[in-house]
Structures are given as structure tokens and as C-alpha cells.
A and B are shown apart, each in its own frame.
Chain A
Amino acid sequence: MAKKKLSDSVVKELAEEVKEWGSMKQTGVSLKQMMNFGGSSKNLLISAQFVHKELPIRIARRVIELENLPYGLSTQNAVLQVRDWYLDSFRDLRSYPEIKDKNDELKFTQMVKMIKVRHNNVVPMMALGVKQLKKERPQFDYKDLKEVHQFLDRFYLSRIGIRMLIGQHVALHDPNPLPNCVGYIHTKMSPLEVARDASEDARSMCLREYGSAPAVNIYGDPNLTFPYVPSHLHMMVFELVKNSARAVQERFMDSYDDAPPIRIIVAGGLEDVTIKISDEGGGIPRSGLPKIFTYLYSTAENPLDEDFTSTGAATACTMAGYGYGIPISRLYARYFGGDLQILSMEGYGTDAFLHLLRLGDSQEPLP
């Protein structure tokens, strides 16, 4: 059961430890560094020791933030649940003994894997917390809650980093890694190929929802490859194509004209790989554009209802459905030094520009 305030609980020492670790300096890693750090047993030990020190710092920071949110967000039940997850994970890490040999390391890896699973539903749970806040204070408009937006951006960006570190460490233990892969990173990822797969997935979803789906034409060099995390790129392209397909369907649903295809261009430069996703779905008014990057504006349904004590992991595993896709896609893009920009022509269509760093030497952002 969620406790209300840390000081109410028995463990005052824990509160002090959280405070202590929350003020330590975080250490960022770049994609390049992660990639060059392979899975030899010596490296696994080093990696485990790094993660053992680094994770509590990042997690403690989040606990402190969760306790200090404005407008009473911290006391919403769903937010308290998230805070408790972070606290439990902090405790698990801090109570784990020094990692001295391969056995320690394997047990540690099991433990951080469990932590990652524990946090699987953080996004919908926080979304529920925000919803609870809105219910409590209906007079607030998304515009007024800039602080909350900024907090959520930092919070989710940090989560991406934590899950990347854990996931990468765990994946390095795979005895049969796929060719050219180092953990989550594909050293020769073809953005064209990932874009194709993600588009097909988005089209399938559109087909299920509308009975038809616009064509997607993809242009680019099939031989262009660079090191990146395919699951991240897949997620972002899927989200953007999904939105484009929906816009086009809604626009041409009652029309005799053929729905114009969505166009994707994959370009390789010296600094960046850029993926543009263009649709003719009617566009978004200039005044409405800032909203699409907000968390609080979401009108979509949340898979978790009020009774969150019975959370089926299956119901909460996708983010589709509560409108967090675009802001979170942008965080994924920025995590490795890229960006996501969306421009629109009201009455015509929308263009999304996904910039990904080609060199991978950008250090993780550490909010």
C-alpha cells in the first residue's frame, strides 16, 4: 500500500540515503561508448559495478522529484505508487553487496532485470496520476502546468536512460547475439529497413481500425547503415506514421479521391541521419501545434482505470492510447543527441523530421 510521506514510515535512514545519493553527480554514457563496450566477462564485471553505482544516483533523484511536484501532484495515489516503485528499487540496489566475481555479477544482473520489470508500467501510472490531478483541479489548463510538463519530460527522459543502461547490461549476457549487434545496439542498422517495418506495423493498425490504410512510399539509400538502437527508431517511426495514417484516413474517409500516400525520405549527412515523414492529412493549425507535445492535453483513454491495484501487465504495455506517443518519441530522439520536429501546413498536411546523430558520440542527457 502506498505510504503518504517518507518521514511517516519507519525508515528515516532510507530517506537520508536517498537524499545523499540524489545529490551525487550522474555519469552519462554515449551510444558510441556503449557500443565499444562489449560483453567479455571482464567488461561485464566493470559494467555491473558501474551500474551498481550509477543507478541508485539516478533513481534517488527521481524519488526526490516525485516527492516535490507542484500543484499537489505528489500526493495523487498513482504518483505515490510510482514513488514506491522507485524507492523499492533504490533499496534493492543499495542493499546489494559489492560485486566481486562472476557469480555476484550474474545475481546482480538478475536483480536489475527485476527492477526493470517492476517499472514497466510507470508511464501509464504517471498518466493516471496526472488524470487524478486534473479531476481534483478541473480549472487547470495544460498551458498553466508548464512546470509539470517540464518535470514529465525530465522524468521520462531519465527513465529512458535507466532502462537503456539496465537493458544493455542484461543484453550483453546473451550467449548468441545477433550479428553486428552489441546488446540493444545494431552497429549497422539500416534506417530504411526499420522505417519499412514500422510503417507496415502502423498500416496494419490503421487497417484494423479503419478497414483501409494509405500507401507509404519510402525513399532512401538501402545501403545506408549506422549504429543505433532499432527498437527506439521503430517506436518513433511507428508513432509518426500511425498519426499520419490516421490523419489521412480521417480526411479522405468520405471522399471519392484516393488517399494520397504518405512519403518517407531517409537522408544521410555527415552529422545526422534524417527521416522525414510527410502526409497530406489536412494539417494542424499553427495555434494547435504546441499541444501535440504536451502530456496533459491527452484526450485518449488510459488503459489503467482508477482501480490500479489490479494492474494486468498486458493492458499497459503499449503507450498508444493516451496521446503520449509524440512527446515521448521526441525524448527518445533526444536521448542519443537527436531531435524530433513537427511542422504543419493547415489545410494540407504535416511533416515530421526525425534527426538522429550519425556519430553516436553525444553523451546521454542527465536531467
Chain B
Amino acid sequence: MDLLSQLQRQLADFTASLYREGFVDDQFTQLQKLQDESSPEFVVEVVSLFFEDCEKLVNNMAKALEQQVVDFKQVDSHVHQLKGSSSSIGAARIKNVCIAFKTFCEAQNREGCLRCLQQVNHEHAQLKTNLQTLFTLERQIVANGGSIPAMQ
């Protein structure tokens, strides 16, 4: 197998595993479909924005949860934002944590919220690493004369 074929095979396998393990869902596929010659960096741009936004929201949530008297409505509004963004880009695991997080906010359960916050951090880090790997493989394929295969 030549290098290009190897890379393409690696990408296909790696991508399939991300879906299988629930890191991303169909909405991520939809996102990739939006990329074309007129916007070749679209997915990378949106994903970067998402991670930046995620960090900012997590910091805000952490601050709110540190207060003597926690404003759960505030926390909930941050979680709502994160749930929306993660859903929009197909970050399935983060979205699912947000769903649980919201119920803890509604129940005004600080411990539950803090646990969810930890989970969000964990999932954020994992997804970031995974997508960086994905994007690197894509770049290598293009550098070796290939084109990125259509997502299934």
C-alpha cells in the first residue's frame, strides 16, 4: 500500500472509531458537508471557535459554582449555551453531559454540577485531541496529493 492509501485507510478507521465511540454524531458529518472550495477551512474554524467558547463557558460555570450562594440560573444559562454549540457541531459526548448538567442545575445540586463540570473538561480535552489527530491526517492526505474522502 502506498503512503497515500495508508493515510486514507488510517483516516477512515479513525473517523469510524470517533463515531462508534460517540465522540461525534451525524451533525459532525453535516458540518463537514458544508466545507467546500469557497470555504476550505470551515470545519477547522468552527471547531476552534467551539473549543474557545467551551473554555470560556467552563470558566464562567466554575466561577459561578464557587460562590457562597450559587446562582443556578446563571450556571444553567451557560450550560444551555454549551449544549447548543456542542449539538450544532456534533460533539455528542459533551452535549450529553450538558443534558445531565442541566437537570442538576434545575435541582440546584452543587455537587452534581461540579461532577458534570469535571466531565465536560474531560470530554473537551479528549475531543480536542481526537479532532487534532483527524485534522492532521486530513492535512497529510492533501499534502500527499489526495483529497479528503466524503464522510459517510
Q: Are these two chains actual partners, yes or no?
A: no
B-contacting residues of A (Cβ < 8 Å)?
none
A-contacting residues of B (Cβ < 8 Å)?
none
